[in-house]
């Protein structure tokens, strides 16, 4: 094993010193002792190793089987790799399987035809979910770059990566607030009696359901308003529906009153926002402290945490499943969940809901898939990982549905009503319906603790991946920050905590719902569509297929090409158009948001995706050559010389691209764009020269004949330039 240090002053994410891979330049570093190089570390024996100090000639460990990843030793020492095989797989599973699998899918299935909903769900999984999941994961693994720097194959699309980071940042801010609520309820459960078990607390109202109990009224008089009375007066309600219709009073469970009046102290609307609640502020702080300590070592620490956070939810789900199906009335709940209503398949909204759930359940277009896979070893079998995670996602949705609806059936039976009256999704399910259900079970605190531990561990992995996306994007764009990783993640957590403080206010729930509706909605559709166009139509699906064959060692399925070319983009466009056609102003329960609040939501959504056109226009504007806009556009959708695998030994395997540059960093250290106007000289290898470039400097298209471009002479002892036009100064050992 050899150690060749990376060039510290080279910004691997910058655009100014990239060259197009239209030709290759073979040069030998001057003054380099070739005996210090060990050619046997290169898998391709026909490839002569680069002899210069390059950021891409990082120390790696050879194995007898060149395609068998070697764990325990980082293949890419600059960025690092997952320590173990299952670190990545469990992180990917934890990122894809989140809160939405438990509190959204079951409700969607019930609302859209029960068991029949599985038909469009599986179809959309096959044509949208799995193909786009595989596209993102292979992209990150092939180039070992995060979402900010993986666009060297078509630099004009770099704004897509910026949008991914922005969406992940905004989502992580409000997602961690949901985890803060779960911590809050977990602490409340550490008691002998849950605080939402009774209606005798100061936050309870006159319509608390335990003060107006449901009775059969076998002894007494059934009043026309649905109440029951005897000689002593009111005894209860014998018909809740009749009572609600005649009195316009809706009974509220103790759990719902606790959630609205105590936990959130919810204001009447977003107009009356209030000040932060100290208990929620502390829980939010705890949530960010946990994220900080779990990410303090990057993937090295999260790779160990996920062994618990990714697997523990399945243990709890199994326990809750066996408890739920044994409850009285559970069968009715499960029947509501799986009973097929096939005529609903003719409703376009059903297909839209299936596609949206697939898109968001697998966390596509958020940048997390690119981020996590970028730390893989080059020959990792990402196809197997994709299939495992996709099957795991479907299984979790269905299994979680059985668990949730068994408890909903029990609640409906207990209240003497139907399942549809108690069914809910989102926060209403997690913090109202289920907490209410556990109060009638033996040892309520035990079941409450289990449930909220499951919610926390389900959400943590997704939260880790989103914050890791922001962290990786920052460090890939500015590599000199990698040595300060702990400080960077600490800064990110502190900033996001401060930005999340408004969510702890009485009006914070309204803001959270607004962010979820707009930031985590159609913005991902735009990003996913742009990403597909960039890879498949601009870079080319055939070349991408060849890249994947080099990386995975086997031909790719024709199905991927069919989906990437046509089915997936068409499905995304269908979802996008239908989302706007079916658009309704934001609501939370019976509360209708004011117009200015919806406008604020649109501004947040636009801010997340505006980077895509702005970055494209900026790159076109800053590109000097070629002259015409159309030629600039063609230039900016052409891969740069930087594009490709991160390590030279893997770049040497690329035989399907004519003139592919094996080591672009070595080439850039020896060539300067002749269009610049100042003179300089490059001394011998023993001297140090410094390169400081304009961040917006144009790219240059090298051909095989370098001498025709500039007057460069080379010898075995030094390199001199007689009339080199440049605004660059060099600082590196040549």
For 593-612, how does the pLDDT look when each residue is reduced to its tens digit (9 = 90+)?
999 999 999 999 999 999 99
Question: C-alpha distances in angstroms, 5 versus 58, 77, 175, 729?
Answer: 7, 10, 39, 21
Q: Is 194 annotated as a binding residue?
A: no
Examine the domain organization and report whether 325 and 303 are in the same domain: yes
Domain membership of residue 18 as a residue range: 1-60+646-734
pLDDT in tens, 493-541: 999 999 999 999 999 999 999 998 898 778 989 999 999 999 999 999 9
495 exposed, middle or buried (CB, 10 Å; 0-12, 13-18, 19+)?
middle
- Look at residues 250, 277, 295 and tell me which one is the last residue of a structural domain: 250
Residue 487 sits in the same domain as residue 596: yes
- pLDDT bin (cut points 50, 70, 90) of residue 669 is low
Query: Per-residue confidence at 698, pLDDT binned at 50, 70, 90?
Result: very low
- 307 and 415 belong to one structural domain: yes
Same domain, 518 and 378: yes
Please say if the pLDDT value at position 295 is more than 50: yes
Q: Is 303 known to sit in a ligand binding site?
A: no
> Is 623 domain-assigned?
no
* Residue 229 Cα to chain centre, angstroms: 57
Higher pLDDT, 251 or 142: 142
What's the pLDDT at 130? 95
- The span from the CA of 261 to the CA of 255, in Å, is 10
Tokens in use for 404? 């949730």
DSSP annotation string for 433-498: IHHHHHTTSSSHHHHHHHHHHHHHHHHHHHHHHHHHHHHHHHHHHSGGGGGGHHHHHHHHHHHHHH
Are residues 185 and 307 both part of a single domain?
yes
462 is in an annotated binding site: yes
101 is in an annotated binding site: yes
- Domain co-membership, 229 together with 126: no
Q: Of 506, 511, 429, nearest to 262 (Cα)?
A: 506
- pLDDT exceeds cutoff 60 at 386: yes
- Specify if 203 maps to a domain: no
Instruction: Please indicate if the annotation marks 94 as binding a ligand.
Output: yes
> Do 455 and 570 belong together in one domain?
yes
Identify the weakest region by mean pLDDT among 327-341, 365-379, 427-441, 692-706: 692-706
Q: Does residue 655 sit within a domain?
A: yes
R_g (Cα) of the chain, nearest Å: 30
Per-residue confidence (pLDDT) for residue 691, from 0 to 100 = 33
pLDDT digits (tens, 9 = 90+) for 265-290: 999 999 999 999 999 999 999 999 99
The rounded percent of the chain whose pLDDT value lies above 70 is 81
Residues 271 and 219 placed together within one structural domain of the fold:
no
Q: Is 4 helix (H, G, I), strand (E, B) or coil?
A: coil
**Would 687 be classed as within a structural domain?**
yes
How does strand 221-222 pair with strand 227-230? antiparallel
Torsion sign over Cα 137, 143, 144, 148 = negative
Q: What is the pLDDT of residue 688?
A: 34
What local confidence, expressed as pLDDT, does residue 299 receive?
86
Is 163 labeled as ligand-binding? no
Residue 620 lies in a domain: no
Domain count, the chain: 3
Percent of the chain with pLDDT over 90: 51
The average pLDDT across 354-382 equals: 90
Same domain, 528 and 408: yes
Lowest-pLDDT range of 221-225, 338-342, 676-680? 676-680
The kind and range of the H/E element at 164 are: helix 158-188
Confidence band of 142 (pLDDT split at 50, 70, 90) = very high
Q: What DSSP string describes 304-355? A: HHHHHHTTHHHHHHHHHHHHHTTSTTHHHHHHHHH---GGGGG-HHHHHHHH
The verdict on 226 and 120 lying in the same domain is: no
Q: Kindly indicate the confidence band of residue 137, based on its pLDDT and cuts at 50, 70 and 90.
A: very high
Distance CA 51, CA 665 (A): 12
Same domain flag for 571 and 702: no
Reply yes or no on whether the pLDDT at 190 is more than 90: yes
Residue 188 and residue 146 in one domain:
yes
């Amino acid at each position: 094993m050899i150690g060749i240090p990376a060039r510290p002053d080279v910004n691997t994410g910058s655009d100014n010193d990239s060259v197009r891979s239209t030709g290759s330049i073979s040069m030998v570093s001057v003054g380099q002792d070739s005996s210090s190089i060990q050619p046997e570390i290169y898998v391709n024996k026909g490839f002569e190793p680069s002899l210069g100090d390059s950021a891409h000639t990082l120390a790696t460990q050879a194995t007898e089987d060149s395609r068998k990843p070697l764990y325990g030793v980082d293949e890419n020492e600059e960025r690092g790799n997952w320590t173990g095989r299952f670190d990545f797989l469990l992180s990917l599973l934890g990122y894809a399987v989140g809160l939405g699998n438990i509190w959204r899918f079951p409700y969607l299935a019930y609302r859209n035809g029960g068991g029949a909903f599985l038909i469009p769900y599986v179809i959309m999984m096959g044509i949208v979910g799995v193909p786009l999941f595989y596209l993102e994961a292979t992209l990150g693994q092939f180039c070992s770059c995060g979402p900010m720097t993986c666009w060297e194959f078509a630099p004009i699309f770099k704004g897509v990566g910026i949008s991914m980071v922005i969406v992940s940042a905004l989502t992580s801010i409000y997602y961690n607030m949901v985890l803060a609520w779960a911590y809050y309820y977990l602490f409340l459960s550490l008691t002998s009696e849950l605080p939402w078990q009774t209606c005798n607390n100061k936050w309870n109202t006159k319509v608390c359901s335990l003060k107006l109990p449901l009775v059969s009224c076998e002894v007494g008089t059934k009043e026309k308003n649905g109440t029951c009375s005897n000689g002593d007066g009111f005894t209860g309600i014998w018909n809740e529906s009749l009572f609600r219709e005649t009195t316009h009073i809706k009974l509220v469970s103790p759990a719902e009153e606790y959630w609205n009046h105590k936990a959130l102290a919810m204001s009447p609307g977003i107009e009356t926002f209030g000040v932060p609640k100290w208990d929620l502020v502390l829980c939010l702080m705890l949530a960010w402290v946990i994220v900080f300590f779990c990410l303090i070592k990057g993937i090295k620490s999260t790779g160990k945490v996920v062994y618990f956070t990714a697997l523990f939810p399945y243990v709890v789900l199994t326990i809750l499943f066996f408890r739920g199906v044994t409850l009285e009335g559970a069968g009715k709940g499960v029947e509501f969940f799986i009973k097929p209503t096939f005529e609903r398949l003719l409703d376009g909204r059903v297909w839209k809901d299936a596609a949206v759930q697939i898109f968001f359940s697998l966390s596509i277009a958020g940048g997390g898939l690119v981020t996590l896979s970028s730390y893989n070893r080059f020959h990792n079998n990402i196809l197997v990982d994709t299939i495992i995670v996709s099957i795991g996602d479907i299984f979790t949705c269905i299994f979680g549905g059985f668990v949730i609806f068994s408890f909903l059936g029990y609640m409906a039976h207990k209240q003497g009503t139907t399942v549809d009256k108690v069914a809910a999704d989102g926060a209403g399910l997690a913090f109202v319906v289920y907490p209410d259900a556990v109060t009638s079970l033996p040892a309520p605190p035990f079941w409450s603790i289990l449930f909220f531990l499951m919610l926390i561990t389900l959400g943590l992995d997704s939260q880790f991946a989103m914050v890791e996306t922001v962290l990786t994007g920052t460090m890939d764009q500015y590599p000199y920050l990698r040595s300060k990783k702990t400080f960077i993640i600490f800064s990110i957590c502190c900033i996001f905590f401060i930005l999340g403080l408004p969510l702890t206010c009485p009006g914070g729930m309204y803001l959270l719902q607004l962010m979820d509706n707009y930031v985590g909605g159609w913005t991902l559709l735009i990003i996913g569509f742009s990403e597909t166009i960039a890879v498949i139509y601009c870079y080319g699906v055939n070349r991408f297929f060849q890249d994947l064959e080099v990386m995975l060692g086997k031909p790719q399925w024709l199905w991927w090409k069919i989906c990437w070319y046509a089915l997936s983009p068409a499905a995304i466009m269908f979802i996008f158009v239908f989302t706007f056609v079916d658009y309704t102003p934001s609501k939370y329960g019976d509360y209708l948001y004011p117009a200015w609040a919806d406008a604020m939501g649109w501004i947040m959504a636009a801010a997340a995706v505006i980077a895509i056109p702005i970055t494209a226009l900026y790159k076109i504007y800053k590109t000097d050559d070629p002259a015409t806009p159309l030629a600039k556009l063609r230039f900016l959708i052409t891969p740069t010389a930087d594009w490709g695998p991160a390590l030279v030994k893997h770049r040497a395997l690329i035989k399907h691209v004519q003139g592919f540059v094996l080591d672009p960093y070595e080439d850039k250290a020896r060539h300067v764009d002749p269009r610049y106007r100042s003179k300089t000289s490059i001394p011998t290898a023993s001297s140090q020269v410094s390169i400081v470039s304009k961040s917006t400097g144009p790219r240059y298209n090298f051909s095989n004949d370098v001498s025709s471009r500039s007057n460069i002479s080379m010898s075995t002892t030094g390199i001199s330039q007689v009339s080199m036009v440049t605004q660059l100064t060099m600082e590196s050992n040549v």
